[in-house]
Structure 1
Amino acid sequence: MVGFHTLKELITPLIQRENTNYRDCISVGERLMVTLRFLATGESFRSLSDQFRVGVSTIRQFVPETCTAIYECPDTVEEWQQVADGFQAQWDFPNCLGALDGKHINSRPPFSMALMALVDSNYKFLNVDVGCNGRISDGGVFGGCSLQDALENRTSNIPAPAPPAASDQAVCYSIVADEAFPLKEYLMTPYPNQRLAVEQRIFNYRLSRARRVVENAFGILANRFRVFLTTINIQDTAKVEDIVLACCALHNFLLTENCSDLQDA
């Protein structure tokens, strides 16, 4: 309940409505409860309408609005360095600024969507990009992301190359991903093929361990917000994007507050 009330206080200035002479507005608490119930269960708006005695059209309007109020990527050298320190300490992978992967989001036509996310060593989302056609490959989706542009053009305040522990050779900071992504100076992928030297196999193993945090984060996200296990029955793609971004922000909020799922509120 503490987490629910904290979240309610954070978003109240953004979605508070005034009563009119004709009717009382739906309270922030009720709007938040309905929205969290939708995100956590993926229930239909009709089912939520029956449970909360709120009109379907009203729910269809305020759920995306509440999601918009709920949703930060590191943007300083110090913040990026904290991410790298976490990967070094927990996964023994130096100079790593996050694990990257994509997830398919089922939504109504005209097309499903792709969620592209960068995750830190503690399963928190650092950067999220959603809205691209779900049929596009992970590498193709990343190629159109703002994160890729920032890394390519060096506009994201990434730390300067530095030697890892027990080394005197400076190494670039980078993110890690699987073989579906293109190898870049700032994007490390596994060595291809089966016939690899011992050192290359060790590198692939350690990269795989570091990279798995993003897969685990997606698993936690879908288990916590079961709207991802259904088809999001909203045709407006911008509203679907708001829902996905809100879930990622709530995921981080729950990890930061170290509280249980909010659906019990």
Structure 2
Amino acid sequence: MKNFVLKFRILSNKRGVWVYDINKSKETHGEFHHLYAKLRRYPQKFVEYTRMSITSFDLLLLNVRHKITKETTGWRRPIAPEERLIICLRYLATGASFRSLAFTFRMGKSTIGGIVVEACRVIWNELQPTYMPSSTQPHLQDVINQFFIRWNFPNCFGAIDGKHCKINCPANTGSTYFNYKKHFSIVLQAIADADYKFIVIEVGGAGRQSDGGTFQYSTTYQLLESGNFNVPQDSYIPKTLIKVPNVLVGNEAYPLKSYLMRPYPRNNLTPEKTAFNYRLSRARRCVECAFGIFCAKWRILTKNMETNTENACDIIKASCLLHNFVRVLDGFNVVDFVNIRGGSTRSQSHIIRRNNNPTVAAKEIRQKFTDYFKDFPINNNG
């Protein structure tokens, strides 16, 4: 028995040295050290690798460097901020596991996980005030103008929808996070503008909730209900004497409110109601396309996040912010266009009907939009 234990310890020590030797060669064989400098000589390859231009990467690094730089100690040289940021972006871009990245970057799995989560938190804290600032009336008025110019939907300050993001089952939660797609998830609720950028996001809703249920538990709902969302005052629809509130647009899962328009039920549709549904769907497509672009660029949103819910929320928030960051700095590209033309990436089959009992005022507001769309039709190819 003693011989067996001794042999086991010897083998364990050899295995430890073997792993250590792999990581020890990080600066010669690690992915960052043999690829990063070369990629900077090929701008398009750099975009494919990091999902952003070299200029955008350098600006991002400039904003976060002071928070992710570690002090040199007598024991070892710290991981450079450039490498830390690259590791984070590769995780978000590919959805690769921490273990896979640990092998390619030649460092420990827990080190990779720590780098990713820390970088995501820093990205959110440092960039959020610029690339997803708190909504103000001037900002929302600009969104309203763009929705009318681009999508022919007046008085609209955003399109709202939700997306399920896969996670491991949190401990002691039962079926709370188990969704209709038969996997565990947390919900990302987002409001998008007319240019597919996110105005407001909330992350962390339990997967078992519908989009409408998530909305009614959200801070956004509370602010809208209390009149504290900074929505501009009611205004006339352009070229008319019809005065209506400024509204969000959502799908059938959302309640009909004075500040939130949803489609008419699909049964017994009149031509006027059909026209309203078309125009609303056209505007609402902005958030669906935002999710499509978002998930195509940051593939972690299509994979199972191997971390706790708190860290998963930080990862999702940083990804949303990077979505805006890249769209502002790098603009529009062919890949984005394909994703937009492809439409929604989400199943619309799971709609939970709720007894929302819309108010008379909400119905009257929807009717005013319906009358306007009847009098001011657009080409269906628009």
Alpha-carbon RMSD = 1.4
Q: Is the 8 A contact 1:15 1:28 kept in 2?
A: yes
Alignment partner, residue 44 of structure 1? 97
Q: Distance in 2 between matches of 1:190 and 1:73?
A: 29
Alignment partner, residue 91 of structure 1? 151
* 1:206-234, Cα deviation, whole Å (9 max, x unpaired): 00000011111111111101111211111
SS of the residue 2:163 aligns to: strand
SS of the residue 2:244 aligns to: coil
- What is the number of equivalent residue pairs in this alignment? 260
Q: Is the 8 A contact 2:148 2:154 kept in 1?
A: yes
Alignment partner, residue 245 of structure 1? 317
SS of the residue 1:129 aligns to: strand
Q: Is the 8 A contact 2:120 2:314 kept in 1?
A: yes
Alignment partner, residue 328 of structure 2? 256
> Could you tell me which of 133, 150, 156 is aligned with 2:206?
133
Given the alignment of the two structures, is residue 82 of structure 1 paired with residue 142 of structure 2, yes or no?
yes
When structure 1 is superposed on structure 2, of 17-26 and 69-78 the one drifting more is: 69-78
Q: Is the 8 A contact 1:101 1:215 kept in 2?
A: yes
Specify the code of the residue in structure 1 equivalent to 2:259: Y
Given the alignment of the two structures, is residue 31 of structure 1 paired with residue 104 of structure 2, yes or no?
no
Deviation at 1:196, TM superposition (A): 2.3
> Could you tell me which of 260, 266, 269 is aligned with 1:187?
260
Q: Distance in 1 between matches of 2:110 and 2:212?
A: 38
Q: Distance in 2 between matches of 1:207 and 1:232?
A: 33
* 1:90-123, Cα deviation, whole Å (9 max, x unpaired): 0000010110001111011123211111000100
Alignment partner, residue 372 of structure 2? none
Deviation at 1:89, TM superposition (A): 0.5
Query: TM-score, normalised to structure 1's length?
Result: 0.95
Give percent identity, aligned residues only.
42
When structure 1 is superposed on structure 2, of 252-261 and 22-31 the one drifting more is: 252-261
Q: Distance in 2 between matches of 1:19 and 1:75?
A: 41
Specify the code of the residue in structure 2 equivalent to 1:36: L
More helix by share: 2
Higher RCO, 1 or 2 (CA under 8 Å, sep at least 6)? 1
Residues 260 and 63 of structure 1: CA distance in aligned 2, closer, same or farther (over 3 Å): farther
Q: Distance in 2 between matches of 1:209 and 1:76?
A: 25
Deviation at 1:14, TM superposition (A): 2.2
Stretches of structure 1 that go unaligned for 5 or more consecutive residues are: none
Query: TM-score, normalised to structure 2's length?
Result: 0.66
Alignment partner, residue 222 of structure 2? 149
> Could you tell me which of 7, 19, 28 is aligned with 2:72?
19
Q: Is the 8 A contact 2:135 2:199 kept in 1?
A: no
SS of the residue 2:204 aligns to: strand
Q: Is the 8 A contact 2:68 2:84 kept in 1?
A: no
Alignment partner, residue 103 of structure 1? 163
Q: Is the 8 A contact 2:87 2:115 kept in 1?
A: no
Q: Distance in 2 between matches of 1:154 and 1:73?
A: 19
SS of the residue 2:223 aligns to: helix
Stretches of structure 2 that go unaligned for 5 or more consecutive residues are: 1-53, 125-131, 171-176, 178-184, 334-382
SS of the residue 1:252 aligns to: helix
Q: Quick check: which has more Rg, 1 or 2?
A: 2
Deviation at 1:194, TM superposition (A): 2.7
SS of the residue 1:105 aligns to: strand
Q: Distance in 1 between matches of 2:331 and 2:121?
A: 22
Given the alignment of the two structures, is residue 117 of structure 1 paired with residue 177 of structure 2, yes or no?
no
